[in-house]
Amino acid sequence: MQTLSQQPATSAQGAQPLNQIPPANPLQLIDRTRCILRESWHRVKAYPYAPSYQSKMVIIERLMVACNDAEATLNGAMRCRMLLRLELDLHSLAPSSTIKRRQTYLTKVNDLMAACRLYLGWRAQQ
């Protein structure tokens, strides 16, 4: 019998351990990426006089085109690889207003990339 400290942490429903991400369909991962990009677009668009406004808008537009290209790809593994190539650009769009907002954004992006790696059967980088 395991003690409470030895049991893996589970979510509120008790279905999945918190440190494991359920495998997702690559099209769902693309939709999640688009959702993150829409949030970033609205956040950046709210401050058009910010010094980094133009460069971030260009990055967002380029990433949206890359999502469209990934969706047009027929192979699920290629879709996940194309999303993994966008990781650094997604990290560059992280908000800097508060630490909490930045951590929340980076958690979303890192979970998305972990789901892509899980789909491909890759281990997370240490």
Q: What does the pLDDT read at residue 124?
A: 56
- The whole-angstrom separation of Cα 73 and Cα 98 is 37
- The whole-angstrom separation of Cα 49 and Cα 110 is 29
Q: What does the pLDDT read at residue 121?
A: 86
Q: Which residues sit opposite 10 in a β-bridge?
A: 17
84 within 8 A of 104, measured Cβ to Cβ: no
pTM of the model: 0.77
Question: For every residue of the chain, which 3-state class applies, written as one string?
Answer: CCCCCCCCCECCCCCCECCCCCCCCHHHHHHHHHHHHHHHHHHHHCCCCCCCHHHHHHHHHHHHHHHHHHHHCCCHHHHHHHHHCCHHHHHHCCCCCCHHHHHHHHHHHHHHHHHHHHHHCCCCCC
Q: What does the pLDDT read at residue 74?
A: 87
Of 86, 74, 72, nearest to 32 (Cα)? 86
Where along the chain do its domains lie? 26-120
> In this predicted model, what pLDDT tens digit does every residue of 33-67 receive, in sequence order?
999 999 999 999 999 998 889 999 999 999 999 99
Regions of the chain with pLDDT less than 50: 1-19
